[in-house]
Structure 1
Amino acid sequence: MDVSTLKRIEADPNYQKLVSERKSFGWTLAIITLVLYYGYIAIVAFAPQMIATKVWGDITIGIIMGVALILLSILLTGIYVLRANSQYDDLTRAIVNAAKIGGKK
């Protein structure tokens, strides 16, 4: 790919929107994930008695929270994939089509 094609793609409003939205959404999900994980670790460190509370048999609040944390991470990944498959793929397709048309002059 030559430099003029790269500059044309970088100037494409769809490309700029794609980069901006992916970056913003990616950071939002990353921050949510970090808050959840570090929050769990903070509870383990500062309130171990709460996390050790038995709910049923040998199952504690800590185990339930740990499983919930894993499930929430999977959910957040699913949310990103859904958004990528709908909005980001459409934008990418538009960028590729514009690059193809621009390159055939």
Structure 2
Amino acid sequence: MDLQTIQAHPAFRQLARERSRLGVAMSIVMAAAYFAYILTIAFWPRLLGHPLWDGTVITWGVLIGVGLIALGFLLTAVYVRRANSRFDRLNQLLMEDLR
């Protein structure tokens, strides 16, 4: 089995296309959220420096920073779920067709 045969297979093309789209989309979401946070810190630090409520030292910036970390975990979980369902099925179909 040569590389050109595998790359020309419709299941491989679909698998590569779907994985690429999902990866790029998730990267854009994470990068946009992170850069929005960094730009807010750079240009409007008072906005994130407000405490959550009176008498606390925890600010909105800390809460949003923790939210960014949680977003990273969420995007990872979405990718793993997609990889374990759709991508694994396409991979199995490809393997069966190429035998």
Does TM-score exceed 0.5, indicating one fold? yes
Question: How far does the alpha carbon of each residue in 1:5-63 deviate from its partner, in whole angstroms, 9 at most, with x for none?
Answer: x2221111110000011111100000000001101001100110011101141100000
Quick one: percent identity of the two aligned structures?
36
Normalised by the length of structure 2, the TM-score is 0.93
Q: Which protein shows a greater Rg?
A: 1
CA RMSD of aligned residues (A): 1.0
Cα distance in structure 1, aligned partners of 2:67 and 2:20: 26
Task: Count residues in correspondence.
Answer: 97
**Structure with bigger RCO (C-alpha 8 Å, 6+ apart):** 1
Aligned counterpart, 1:97: 96
Cα distance in structure 1, aligned partners of 2:34 and 2:42: 12
Q: Give structure 1 stretches of 5+ with no counterpart.
A: 101-105
Give the secondary-structure state (helix, strand or coil) at the position aligned to 2:52.
Answer: strand
Aligned counterpart, 1:20: 17
Q: Give structure 2 stretches of 5+ with no counterpart.
A: none
Name the structure with the higher strand share: 1
Aligned counterpart, 1:47: 44
